[in-house]
Amino acid sequence: MKQLHKKIDLSVDIGGLKMRNPVMAASGTFGYGEEYEEHVPIDHLGALITKGISLKPHSGNPPPRLVETTGGMLNAIGLQNIGVKALIKEKIPNLMKFGTPIIVNVFGSTLREYGEVARILDGIDAIKGLEVNISCPNIKRGGISFGTDPRQVFKVVSKIRKASALPIMVKLSPNVTDITTIARSAEEAGADVLSLINTLTGMAVDVDNRIPKLGNITGGLSGPAIKPIALRMVWEVYNKVNIPIVGIGGIFNTYDALEFIIVGASAIQIGTAHFINPSVAMEVINGLENYLRDNHIGTIQDLVGSLETPTFSIL
């Protein structure tokens, strides 16, 4: 068999999370999976991350919840979700049929709630990991308030570590002074993987009526506009921690994904791009395969953190 036709292996194992490729659907952009059933071959994804789930259902924020901005969009959904029990009963059985690893994004408004949700999800076969949301900017309690203080991060992650034997991925907020201190806290508390970044807090104003364009006043910015910031943060964190990183932030094509991998991400998540192009994940998976083949690179792992930085200086 010719080298050219050799099947490229895209599989990755990040912190115990085994995936057939490093392309995941990001939380909040893929619903509970079923919404995209008709539009995306879900069984081809590396993993699927559910909408953020809490102990009890959340009704979410008042409308308008969305506004497009140049190169991105602001959202303030407010973590509307059906609660962990309904997730297990109504959504997981349907999701299982795809054979794609399911990662549940969890959040709480108290430390105890985080632990409780993790405990309930532990031991369910189809669920292969937890993503801990300490970074949602759109709810008043919980979420980001846990994600901006290194001590709180340590407490939340420790709590979940005790409650669950599943691989734990901690999703970091970019709305902090130094993301690496938060990353280090999560690592010390026992996180297996870090995913970053969540959305950047922003706002938009209707000047005719002098009112905010979002019901929640502020919202989280996502899309191509945030990619340079996300890349910089992945690179910073990669240089400070020893656990794998999942890159998120404005990935719209293969080259975007490659940039994240080269600066240190072992896998990537695609979010906002799904809304515009439901085939984007498939395109990126094929694109990564072609890139590895064309550049004679054996595995994704060989590419992770392969960024070459200038070593000389002019005095």
Partner 1 sequence: MARVIFNRKISSDYYRMRILCPEIASRAKPGQFIMVRITELLDPLLRRPFGIHRLCHERDKHTDNNSPSCIEILYKIVGKGTIVLSEKKKGEGIDLMGPLGNGFYLEQNIETAVIVAGGIGVAPLFSLAQVLKGVKGKNTSRDKLTIFIGGENRKDILCLNDFKKIGARVVVSTIDGSLGTKGLVTDLLVNFLRKHSPLETKNLKLFGCGPLPMLRTLSEIAFYKNIPCQVSLESRMACGVGACQGCAVPTEINKEGDRVVLYQRACKEGPVFDSTIIFWDYKSILLKV
Q: Among all residues, which ones are annotated catalytic? A: 136
Among 9, 11, 13, 62, binds partner 1 (CB under 8 A): 62
Residues 299 and 293: their CA atoms lie apart, in Å, by: 10
Binding test (CB under 8 A) with partner 1, winner from 22, 28, 167, 244: 28
* 90 is an interface residue for partner 1 by CB under 8 A: no
How many angstroms separate the CA atoms of 158 and 104, rounded?
18
Site for partner 1 in 97-126 (CB under 8 A): none
Report which of 223, 228, 235 is spatially closest to residue 183, judged by C-alpha positions.
Answer: 235
Which of 67, 160, 246, 292 contacts partner 1 by CB under 8 A?
Answer: 67
Contacts of 295 (CB under 8 A, 6+ apart): none
Shortest distance, position 131 Cβ to partner 1, whole Å: 16
The residues that bridge with 221 in the sheet, in sequence order, are: 74, 200
Please choose, out of 31-39, 108-116, 142-150, 158-166, the segment that lies near partner 1 by the rule CB under 8 A: 31-39
Contact stretch for partner 1 (CB under 8 A) within 67-75, 156-164, 202-210, 232-240:
67-75
70 vs 295, which CB is nearer to partner 1? 70
Structure token digits, residue 73: 């969009």
Question: Does residue 238 bind partner 1 (CB under 8 A)?
Answer: no
By CB under 8 A, the residues from 251 to 270 that bind partner 1 are 252
> Whole-angstrom Cα distance, residue 185 to residue 8?
36
266 token code pair: 């072992």
208: tokens are: 């005719």
The correct pick among 99, 162, 217, 255 for binding partner 1 (CB under 8 A) is 217
231 touches 249 (CB < 8 A): yes
Which are the contacts of 190, defined by CB distance < 8 A and separation ≥ 6?
A: 157, 158, 161, 168
Q: Is 68 in the site for partner 1 (CB under 8 A)?
A: yes
Binding-site ranges for partner 1 (CB under 8 A): 28-31, 35-36, 38-39, 51, 59-60, 62-68, 70-73, 75, 77, 80, 215-217, 223-224, 252, 272, 274-278
